[in-house]
């Protein structure tokens, strides 16, 4: 057990978030470095490089800069993390609403994720921000969740009379969490669950664009189709027939099953 300060955010079962053991090992190693040495290593972007520092560890060191009130050190680490976010979340616009009409909304996912991360970091500079804890557990997974959250927020703004249910942290709603559990046939530890969900997000990211968009919107809570013409659905957003959405969903599910080596119990 390391002497690093524990995280404070709790799961719905009341268990504290925990950093991965490998992350803590890297943090303890980096505590022996000077700040310049730490930043030089942090600039390494190749994950297979033995000197690569995981983003989770950099978030830890970013949060520690507030204890000695050194803005220059904070700024250098923050810029490195910004570059990493841009690599895992490339700039892309997502159109929701009328395809070319005045009601169309353009969402820049990268900008949303960067702003969201900045807000959490700035809050943590003033006090302890539990919403930042997840980034010390599974950084890339949290970035993927923020992208999903962006789609949910845009959909809610596009159809305010049909709001989606999601918690105050922007975390995955309970029904989607249940769906993720159903995808995973084993009841694993919290760390294993985080790892599994990260693997799921990476698997979804490997899908072709048309299939990935369908799966992402399903997880975002957007219905595939509806008898109510006022309800925004996946088929209306993508400007395609409901059957096309079902076909893309089914193809995506089969690919996810093959990648994850498990069975998707609820493809809907």
Taking only the tens place, the pLDDT of each residue in 236-249 is: 777 788 888 889 88
Q: Are 183 and 264 a contacting pair, CB within 8 Å?
A: yes
Give the pLDDT band (50/70/90) at residue 262: low
Taking only the tens place, the pLDDT of each residue in 68-98 is: 766 788 889 999 999 999 888 776 655 555 4
Tokens 């159109």 correspond to 95
Mean pLDDT for 118-127 is 89
Mean pLDDT for 11-40 is 93
Mean pLDDT for 104-126 is 79
Q: Which two tokens stand for residue 138?
A: 């599974």
| CA-only gyration radius of the chain, Å | 20
Mean pLDDT for 147-172 is 49
Average pLDDT, the chain: 76
- H/E stretch holding 40 reads helix 35-42
- In sequence order, what are the residues at sequence separation of 6 or more whose Cβ sits closer than 8 angstroms to the Cβ of residue 87? 45
Taking only the tens place, the pLDDT of each residue in 183-241 is: 444 445 444 555 566 577 678 878 888 888 888 777 666 777 777 776 777 887 777 88
Please give the CATH topology (third level) of the domain spanning 172-268.
Arc Repressor Mutant, subunit A (1.10.10)
Neighbours of 38 (CB within 10 A): 20
pLDDT of residue 60: 97
Report the predicted TM-score, pTM, of the whole model to 2 decimal places: 0.58
Q: Are 58 and 76 a contacting pair, CB within 8 Å?
A: no
- Residue boundaries of the structural domains of the chain: 172-268
Interhelix angle 242-260/209-219, rounded to 10 degrees, is 90
Phi, psi of 186 (to 5 degrees): -110, 150
Give the pLDDT band (50/70/90) at residue 152: low
Higher model confidence: residue 166 or residue 184? 184
Interhelix angle 190-205/174-183, rounded to 10 degrees, is 90
Name residue 107's beta-bridge partners. 94
Cα distances (angstroms) measured from residue 46 to each of 60, 72, 138, 179, 252: 20, 25, 18, 33, 29
């Amino acid at each position: 057990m390391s002497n690093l300060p524990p995280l404070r955010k709790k799961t719905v079962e009341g268990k504290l978030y925990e950093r991965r053991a490998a992350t803590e090992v890297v943090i303890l190693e980096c505590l022996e470095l000077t700040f310049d040495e730490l930043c030089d290593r942090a600039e390494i972007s190749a994950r297979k490089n033995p000197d690569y520092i995981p983003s989770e560890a950099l978030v830890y060191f970013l949060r520690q800069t507030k204890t000695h009130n050194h803005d220059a050190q904070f700024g250098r680490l923050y810029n490195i993390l910004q570059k990493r976010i841009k690599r895992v979340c490339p700039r892309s616009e997502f159109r929701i609403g009328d395809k070319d009409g005045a009601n169309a909304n353009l969402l820049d996912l990268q900008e949303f994720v960067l702003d969201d991360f900045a807000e959490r970091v700035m809050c943590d500079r003033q006090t302890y921000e539990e919403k930042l804890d997840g980034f010390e557990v599974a950084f890339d997974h949290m970035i993927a969740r923020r992208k999903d959250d962006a789609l949910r927020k845009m959909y809610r703004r596009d159809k305010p009379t049909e709001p989606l249910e999601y918690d105050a942290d922007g975390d995955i709603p309970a029904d989607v969490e249940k769906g993720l559990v159903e995808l995973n046939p084993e009841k694993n530890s919290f760390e294993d669950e985080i790892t599994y969900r990260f693997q799921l997000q990476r698997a979804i990211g490997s899908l072709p664009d048309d299939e990935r968009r369908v799966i992402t919107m399903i997880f975002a809570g957007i219905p595939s189709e509806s008898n109510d013409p006022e309800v925004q659905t996946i088929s209306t957003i993508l400007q395609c027939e409901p059957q096309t959405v079902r076909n893309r969903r089914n193809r995506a599910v089969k690919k996810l099953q093959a990648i994850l080596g498990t069975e998707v119990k609820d493809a809907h």
